[in-house]
Amino acid sequence: MNQASTLPPAPAAKPALKSPPRALPRQRPLAIGPLRAFEAVARLLSFRAAAEELHLTQSAISRQIRALEEEIGTALFLRGTRFVELTSDGAVLKPTAEQVLQRLDQSVRQIRQAHGRQVVNVTTFASFASLWLIPRLAAFQQAHPDIDIRVSANDSVLELEDSEVDLALRYTSPDRVPSGALRLFGEVLTPVVSGMLATQATQGSSPPLRKAADLAEYTLAEEDDHRPSAEYLSWRRWLAGQGQAELQPRRWMYLNFTYQQIQAALAGQAVALARLVLVSEQLQRGDLVEPFGPGARMASPFAYWMLQTEQGRQRPEVQQFAHWIEAQAALSRAEVGEA
């Protein structure tokens, strides 16, 4: 017997092991909630601040960021005990997320405006809103009852393109005005007192108020501010121009808002160095009086400007309001004698 024929058959060769297939990148779109949470944390570099801004809990923000990282497949933040930093992948995503959310929010605003009441969002500084804009708004609203005006009175300058503002009314010098701004009117300063106080001074029941030196018997309301315009709004500048650089009033009243100074003058508590265009109506009514007459007025290099945002230029209701502002500015220029 052939011994070889009794041997068991050789085992079949095992197939070569294959590497596990690589996971394919996910193709489904990202959810908007985690993306907005990411943008807020990336901009603020703080989970707590992002939670406050989005009106969520900090744990909810953390869950959304984790869900986004799992969805993308990479870490977007480096988290420490007291710091948060973007990873290189997070830095790549950040500008795109900002652009996407900005365009989305702008589209939503347009849709809401198309199906709701028309609203014009205006930003300006507090004193200008109180003394010039708001007293005139009734006339606009009577002519355009279908347009609502939202006024944001804030002395800090907003970045217009990063906000929901349509139109800004600003006060600055010509060398600092943004490009594309329309000049409304210049600035002239003049001493003013209440009509009652002026009458008392004329009748002799109060100290006379006929020349600059007479201010030594009165309280002067002074601009308490450190911005570049403050030196042009100061009594010291006006007094120096009147040859009274060393004059000391009876007392000083320091106020950091123009409308506060005007209120003090209207109440008979002080003499204010007023911005003429902001008190022209009070002067016409006799509520305020220029005790030294128009010859005592003093010019400033600062002026008032109107600036529209790009989205504002595309909306008819904003254009209607802007044209109305221009017409009101022309009336103010005529009232103060500005060419």
Q: Are 77 and 162 in a shared domain?
A: no
Q: Report the CATH number at residue 339.
A: 3.40.190.290
Residue 6 lies in a domain: no
How far is residue 233's CA from residue 229's CA, in Å, rounded to a whole number? 7
Least confident of 21-30, 148-157, 167-176, 311-320: 21-30
CA proximity to 279, closest of 187, 206, 214: 187
Q: Is the pLDDT of residue 292 over 60?
A: yes
Provide the pLDDT confidence category of residue 220 given band limits of 50, 70 and 90: very high
Provide the pLDDT confidence category of residue 16 given band limits of 50, 70 and 90: very low
Average pLDDT over residues 194-207: 90
Residue 23 lies in a domain: no
Q: Are 228 and 264 in a shared domain?
A: yes
How far is residue 163's CA from residue 160's CA, in Å, rounded to a whole number? 5
Q: Are 106 and 134 in a shared domain?
A: no
Residue 11 lies in a domain: no
Q: Is the pLDDT of residue 58 over 50?
A: yes
Provide the pLDDT confidence category of residue 257 given band limits of 50, 70 and 90: confident
Least confident of 68-82, 223-237, 304-318: 223-237
Q: Is 177 exposed, middle or buried (0-12, 13-18, 19+ CB in 10 A)?
A: middle
Q: Are 232 and 335 in a shared domain?
A: yes
Average pLDDT over residues 306-317: 89
Domain boundary among 114, 143, 170: 114
Q: Is the pLDDT of residue 4 over 50?
A: no
Q: Is the pLDDT of residue 65 over 90?
A: yes
Domain boundary among 64, 96, 114: 114
Q: Is the pLDDT of residue 201 over 70?
A: yes
Number of domains in the chain: 2
Q: Are 80 and 205 in a shared domain?
A: no
Q: Is the pLDDT of residue 183 over 70?
A: yes
Query: 270-291: per-residue pLDDT in tens?
Result: 999 999 999 999 999 999 999 9
* Cβ–Cβ under 8 Å, residues 265 and 131: no
Residue 161 lies in a domain: yes
Residue 288 pairs with which residues in a beta bridge? 194
pLDDT at 268: 94
Q: Is the pLDDT of residue 198 over 60?
A: yes
pLDDT at 225: 74
pLDDT at 143: 93
Q: Is the pLDDT of residue 164 over 80?
A: no
Domain boundary among 83, 114, 145: 114
Average pLDDT over residues 6-29: 50
Q: Are 179 and 321 in a shared domain?
A: yes
* Cβ–Cβ under 8 Å, residues 94 and 37: no
CA proximity to 298, closest of 332, 336, 265, 259: 336
Residue 57 is part of which domain span? 32-114
Least confident of 128-132, 159-163, 209-213: 159-163
Query: 81-140: per-residue pLDDT in tens?
Result: 888 999 999 999 999 999 998 888 877 777 766 666 788 999 999 899 999 999 999 999
Q: Is the pLDDT of residue 158 over 90?
A: no
Q: Are 271 and 205 in a shared domain?
A: yes
Q: Are 86 and 198 in a shared domain?
A: no
Residue 25 lies in a domain: no
Q: Are 151 and 87 in a shared domain?
A: no
Average pLDDT over residues 169-187: 90
Query: 37-46: per-residue pLDDT in tens?
Result: 999 999 999 9
Q: Are 136 and 211 in a shared domain?
A: yes
